[in-house]
Chain A
């Protein structure tokens, strides 16, 4: 009986407690003033009709300070007009945004995925307006793309595009020969003949603008004397290097910038090979030969990494070592360095000798070559040369190439006179394809236009590169493999054609006004993203906000470094 009473008491107590929880305490209850007023609720008449599109609310991103970035404001003027306001004129603005990191993604997709929680989607499931959309990324194996049927332009010729990778050139060639790949990149120069002699294959020369140079640091003796630098410039037989160590199609460099780039090779061409004059100059300096025929000893630093501008680094290093001794009596020790350490030390001007380095174009504008290498903030040649960087600074404020030409000529002549480096070669490379792939053509910059390729009798195109992409969110990537894949899926306001011509893509046109500081772009209408949404100006603003504005909540990427945006424009609202 006592147990029953206890049980009843417990049941009553539990019931009371439950009632107490169900009824909020007065202090917890929302205050009447905090409750939404009935008048604030949307009236049925005010609610948007299902058939009506929501009103366009333009986005804007600003950095009035202009301290960390060259971009002051990015603003959607209306649904199809975007305006970029720059802090100072940038004649290469359109050339820069034609590069994959600046390609456009839907605003809603960025807002949903540019965060730590959805980073995997951000990095691996790109959404763009490109001719292909991603089907699946089989990590470590391949990436499969499918034709985007609602593409605004001419649809892709094959239904399926497969990206695969093989590190060794020999393996890529074997796959091409076997027919398991339709297009391969970076054919080894030793295999050029093999490809040419195979009727089932076709060799496709790549004219990617690049430069290989031998650099001096003018704070290191005896290279602090311009006559020594000039003597070495005259004492190196560059033609012999290019003829013997570079593949067919490579050229001896007479200027730092390749001639394919406007204003790249204006001014006096480089010194011709003249060992006699070179030795005379060294004698004048007082660097005479000792009993062993040696004037002085130095070092040649390089990294043993294949690049189109330097396909055989160790061989070229030994050739230069040999030429220095034979032609000039300069004894050089060849030192191979780990790639990362070499780049860090050479670009910081911390190597006590000559070093072998090069550059490949990111965008087709002379600023990408000259301004980056010879600006007053670049210590890679030791003390900067005002004779070079001053005309470059003047040229950088002029949009009209013809008007800027005299300044580039002045800078090129100063480079020749002061010899901060010796331009040696513009290296050629080649891709290869199966002979039955119609329209196969290598691009000047970036990947080929694979969506135009037609493999005979096949609806799948297999593209074989040297490595797997790191991620497919290219705003925050720098590797060529990622950038290639991004170009299949996403598009920019402007883009380069396979011939290197810069053409409007998602923009119908961009107008540059107000002394080259305001760029107004009108967007193409009716362009669909892979998720079904339609391209508008806010997509452009949000895309640039995510990659360029450090204060944006959407400034999230693979590493967070955003190297290209940072290097091209500087990040907006950067926190020190």
Chain B
């Protein structure tokens, strides 16, 4: 068995940790990041176990099924003074007499699915485009990045609305539209990282050893571009959830009777004075989710950016 000089000098306990371990350590010290992460874990739990947590089917119209209920009924909680013999709907009933609490719970599934799916698609597309542009350079770089610039020139939501108008309404098309409008950001981030990494010594060494371009890109360059991408992705999920909610609010995303927070808000927007609970709860759900991803994203940026930790 052999040991390196560094290990001999520092001893086993003082072995230098990897940048990832350092980042994790910094992240665990980040309070708001922990709050964000905790909320996200909770939301993931709610989404996964929605059928167990929701007292009703989210699309179940309860008219005629439960006695003494009416549409847009206010929240009824026994502990807060609601008669015990009345059906307990802790977030009330919506305009079709469906249980709002169950719909908010199932809405978590849709929103997280939208966030993760669109960002995954956008990251894949953005990474390929950004990596090719940054690594190949020249006219390929120019072509790809100018196209990305064109996409970036439009306000994201407006472009998404235009795409959905062409493709047709529906959650699937909304996902695609949001993925398309999110792609340029990731392409830019990856390209910038590739440009900074590709001239470094270990890449030149790999090239000198005869490694293929693909191998260099996948094994040496892209792993070193990950930190900014992770930060961007976390913040991107929040944006994607907001965009999807906005599209559904406008009637372009999830279609009835799908329980989606944006469409729940949109359907009952005129009841803001008469039945505020119908807009309050889905609105609150959107706010908490977006806030959680933003908190985590900020914490990740702090944790992964070495320039902020050069002590």
Q: Which residues of A contact B (CB under 8 A)?
A: 169-170, 188, 190-191, 240, 244-245, 304, 312, 314-315, 317-319, 321-322, 333-336
- Check A334/B257 contact, CB under 8 A, given A315-B95, A322-B96: yes
Whether B71 lies near A314 (C-beta < 8 A) is no
- Check A304/B257 contact, CB under 8 A, given A240-B63, A312-B95, A322-B96: no
Residue of B nearest to A326 (CB): B61
C-alpha spacing A333/B64, complex, angstroms: 22
Whether B267 lies near A314 (C-beta < 8 A) is yes
Which of B209-217, B219-227, B269-277 contacts its partner? B269-277
Chain A residues in 8 Å Cβ range of B70: 244
C-alpha spacing A245/B275, complex, angstroms: 15
Residue of A nearest to B165 (CB): A338
Residue of A nearest to B274 (CB): A190
Contact with A along B40-78 (1 / 0, CB 8 A): 000000000000000000010101100000111000000
Chain B residues in 8 Å Cβ range of A190: 72, 271, 274-275
Residues 161-211 (chain B) with a chain A CB within 8 angstroms: 169
Instruction: Determine if B34 is an interface residue (Cβ-Cβ < 8 Å).
Output: no
Chain B residues in 8 Å Cβ range of A322: 59, 61, 96, 257
C-alpha spacing A318/B274, complex, angstroms: 21
Chain B residues in 8 Å Cβ range of A334: 255-257
Whether A319 lies near B255 (C-beta < 8 A) is no
Whether B251 lies near A188 (C-beta < 8 A) is no
Chain B residues in 8 Å Cβ range of A188: 270, 274
C-alpha spacing A333/B171, complex, angstroms: 13
C-alpha spacing A319/B60, complex, angstroms: 10
6 CB < 8 A contacts A-B: A170-B273, A188-B274, A245-B71, A314-B95, A315-B267, A322-B61
Whether B274 lies near A335 (C-beta < 8 A) is no
Whether B95 lies near A321 (C-beta < 8 A) is no
Whether A240 lies near B64 (C-beta < 8 A) is yes
Whether B71 lies near A321 (C-beta < 8 A) is no
Whether B63 lies near A321 (C-beta < 8 A) is no
Q: Which residues of B contact A (CB under 8 A)?
A: 59, 61, 63-64, 70-72, 95-97, 169, 251, 255-257, 267, 270-271, 273-275
C-alpha spacing A273/B72, complex, angstroms: 26
Whether B255 lies near A336 (C-beta < 8 A) is yes
Residue of A nearest to B168 (CB): A335
Whether A319 lies near B274 (C-beta < 8 A) is no
Partner among B169, B256, B271, B274 whose Cβ is within 8 Å of the Cβ of A314: B256
What's the nearest-Cβ distance from chain B to residue A186, in Å?
13
Interface centre among A315, A319, A321 (most CB of B within 10 A): A315
- Number of residue pairs across A and B with beta carbons under 8 Å? 50
Whether A304 lies near B251 (C-beta < 8 A) is yes
Partner among B59, B255, B267 whose Cβ is within 8 Å of the Cβ of A335: B255
- Check A244/B71 contact, CB under 8 A, given A321-B257, A334-B257: yes
Interface centre among B61, B169, B251 (most CB of A within 10 A): B61
What's the nearest-Cβ distance from chain A to residue B212, in Å?
49
What's the nearest-Cβ distance from chain B to residue A41, in Å?
72
Residue of A nearest to B256 (CB): A334
C-alpha spacing A190/B96, complex, angstroms: 14
What's the nearest-Cβ distance from chain B to residue A196, in Å?
14
Chain A residues in 8 Å Cβ range of B274: 188, 190-191
Chain B residues in 8 Å Cβ range of A319: 61, 63, 96
Q: Known pairs A188-B270, A315-B71. 12 more at Cβ < 8 A?
A: A170-B270, A190-B72, A244-B63, A244-B70, A314-B95, A318-B61, A319-B63, A319-B96, A321-B256, A322-B59, A322-B61, A335-B169
C-alpha spacing A43/B136, complex, angstroms: 101
Chain A residues in 8 Å Cβ range of B275: 190
Chain B residues in 8 Å Cβ range of A318: 61, 96, 256-257
C-alpha spacing A134/B270, complex, angstroms: 35
Residue of B nearest to A173 (CB): B273
Residue of B nearest to A194 (CB): B274
C-alpha spacing A42/B63, complex, angstroms: 86
What's the nearest-Cβ distance from chain A to residue B166, in Å?
14
C-alpha spacing A218/B83, complex, angstroms: 51
C-alpha spacing A191/B270, complex, angstroms: 12
C-alpha spacing A319/B257, complex, angstroms: 10
Chain B residues in 8 Å Cβ range of A312: 95
What's the nearest-Cβ distance from chain A to residue B165, in Å?
10
C-alpha spacing A60/B281, complex, angstroms: 68
Chain B residues in 8 Å Cβ range of A170: 270, 273
Chain B residues in 8 Å Cβ range of A240: 63-64
What's the nearest-Cβ distance from chain B to residue A528, in Å?
46
C-alpha spacing A34/B97, complex, angstroms: 87
Chain B residues in 8 Å Cβ range of A169: 270
Interface centre among A245, A322, A336 (most CB of B within 10 A): A322
Chain A residues in 8 Å Cβ range of B59: 322
What's the nearest-Cβ distance from chain B to residue A353, in Å?
14
C-alpha spacing A190/B169, complex, angstroms: 30
Task: Across the A-B interface, give the 6 residue pairs with the lowest CB-CB distance, nearest first.
Answer: A190-B274, A334-B256, A322-B61, A315-B95, A318-B96, A318-B256
Chain A residues in 8 Å Cβ range of B256: 314, 317-318, 321, 334, 336
Chain A residues in 8 Å Cβ range of B169: 335-336
Whether A333 lies near B255 (C-beta < 8 A) is yes
Whether B97 lies near A244 (C-beta < 8 A) is yes
What's the nearest-Cβ distance from chain B to residue A50, in Å?
65
What's the nearest-Cβ distance from chain B to residue A470, in Å?
24
What's the nearest-Cβ distance from chain A to residue B54, in Å?
17
C-alpha spacing A314/B248, complex, angstroms: 14
Residue of A nearest to B258 (CB): A334
What's the nearest-Cβ distance from chain A to residue B276, in Å?
12
Chain B residues in 8 Å Cβ range of A321: 256-257
Chain B residues in 8 Å Cβ range of A304: 251
Interface centre among B64, B95, B97, B275 (most CB of A within 10 A): B95
Chain A residues in 8 Å Cβ range of B61: 318-319, 322
C-alpha spacing A317/B255, complex, angstroms: 12
C-alpha spacing A317/B63, complex, angstroms: 15
Chain B residues in 8 Å Cβ range of A317: 256
C-alpha spacing A199/B106, complex, angstroms: 44
What's the nearest-Cβ distance from chain B to residue A194, in Å?
8
